Amino acid sequence: MTGAPRLGVTVGDPAGIGPEIVARALARGELGQRGPVLVYAEPSLFAAACRAAGADRPDAAQDGEAADAGARLRPVEVGAVPRSFAVGSPSAFTGAVAAACVEAAARDALAGRVDAVVTAPLAKSALRAAGSPHPGHTEMLAEIAGVENVAMMFVAPDLHVTLATVHLPLADVPRALTSERILETLRLTRECLVDRAGVADPRLAVLGLNPHAGEGGLFGDEEARVVIPAVDAARARGWNVEGPFPADSFFLRHRRDHDAVIAMYHDQGLIPVKLLAGGHAVNVTLGLPFLRTSVDHGTAFDIAGRGIASEASLVAACRLAERWAGPRGAR
């Protein structure tokens, strides 16, 4: 057992609530006092967020410097801040800053300068305006890390939900959903629970795609064609997997009987997570060569800069990263 895990925390889109919730976490001692932290941000804009939160802006770290003790700032600049910049107004500039923060943090994680990356929210529209081809963090991090198979898991007390498909129009989900994709999602989920959470033999549940899990083919055949073959293949590997379960009743009746559940699409998994977790869920990217956790909410441009955004999910993401990254020297 050596030092606490070193966290790299990105502030997300500088026009959103990310800078203020990171600054508030610093002011309240939730960052930097439990272990080393590098904060990735545009320096002048983050300084303003720190002043508003009553926090001292961390001293700047040098390029290539590892997190050592306390909180340090990793300055990320993509050019002068435009005169038109305003909190609450995303733009190509704010998207470029957010993307540059994520890339810098991921590069540091790959180089071993931080043990886990924690991300505040960014805006997909601003990323697109900046010319990024990625719809969000997950896809961006996968490209930087050079991996193809990743998945999003949401973690809350007594609740782990992984998505088999992520940022897709609902009409595209049935075509994207394959037995291979579900099986890979099961594998990534199982490996995370075993390696990170210490669950020896995870009990995994798989939801159906259609109402009542297809009702024996009356409401669609994806369960028979795609979902059940994936469940059978997982069981053949010796994994503890059940399903498909009807999604409308699972979270009320069965969720405590399983260590994780695989949802077929975005809202099927996230609506119950956000209802049951009460703002304390954490988004984890599975399949990366480093640990990445994130808040379970968006940029909230409508309340940015008003000092009312909660840092609860960010703090939960940092605490989970500390637990799952483990002490330095133990890996």
User: In the CATH scheme, what architecture does the domain 1-147+288-331 have?
Assistant: 3-Layer(aba) Sandwich (3.40)
In eight-state DSSP terms, residue 60 is B
Nearest to 140 by CA among 154, 127, 153, 155: 127
Q: Beta strands of the chain (E only): which ranges?
A: 7-10, 37-41, 71-75, 116-119, 151-156, 159-163, 203-207, 240-245, 260-263, 282-286, 291-294
Give percent of the chain with pLDDT exceeding 90: 77
Domain 149-287 listed as CATH 2.40.110.10: no
Domain locations in the chain as residue ranges: 1-147+288-331, 149-287
How many beta carbons lie within 10 A of that of residue 120, not counting itself?
Answer: 31
**Residues 63, 166: Cα–Cα separation, whole Å:** 34
Q: Is the peptide bond before 327 cis (omega within 30 degrees of 0)?
A: no
* Cα separations in angstroms, 185 against 125, 192, 201: 27, 11, 16
Phi, psi of 211 (to 5 degrees): -55, 135
SS3 state at 110: helix
pLDDT the model gives residue 59: 86
* Mean pLDDT taken over the chain: 91
48-55 long-range contacts, Cβ below 8 Å, gap at least 24?
Answer: 48/19, 49/11, 49/19, 49/20, 49/22, 49/23, 50/23, 50/26, 52/20, 52/23, 52/305, 52/307, 53/20, 53/23, 53/24, 53/26, 53/27, 53/307, 54/27, 55/23, 55/24, 55/26, 55/27
Question: pTM of the prediction?
Answer: 0.91
pLDDT the model gives residue 2: 54
| 5 in Cβ contact with 35 (< 8 Å) | yes
| pLDDT one-digit tens code per residue, 30-80 | 988 788 999 999 999 999 999 999 998 888 887 777 777 789 999 999 999
Residue keyed to tokens 């405590």: 256
Phi, psi of 2 (to 5 degrees): -115, -135
| pLDDT one-digit tens code per residue, 289-326 | 999 999 988 999 999 999 999 999 999 999 999 999 87
pLDDT-derived band of residue 330, with 50, 70 and 90 as boundaries?
Answer: very low
Helical pair 228-236 and 179-195, crossing angle rounded to 10 deg:
50
Nearest to 36 by CA among 331, 321, 288, 311: 321
pLDDT the model gives residue 165: 94
In a 13 Å sphere around the CA of 10, the CA atoms on its Cβ side amount to 31
* Cα separations in angstroms, 120 against 171, 283, 310: 29, 11, 12
Chain-centroid distance of CA 316 in Å reads: 12
pLDDT-derived band of residue 329, with 50, 70 and 90 as boundaries?
Answer: very low
pLDDT the model gives residue 327: 60
Alpha helices by DSSP H, listed for 173-303, are: 173-176, 179-195, 222, 228-236, 247-253, 266-277
Across 15-19, 37-41, 216-220, 291-295, least confident range: 216-220
pLDDT the model gives residue 255: 78
| 185 in Cβ contact with 164 (< 8 Å) | yes
| 150 in Cβ contact with 163 (< 8 Å) | no
Domains 1-147+288-331 and 149-287 share a fold: yes
- Tell which phi-psi region holds residue 326, choosing left (phi > 0), alpha (psi between -120 and 50) or beta: left
Nearest to 46 by CA among 25, 69, 70, 67: 25
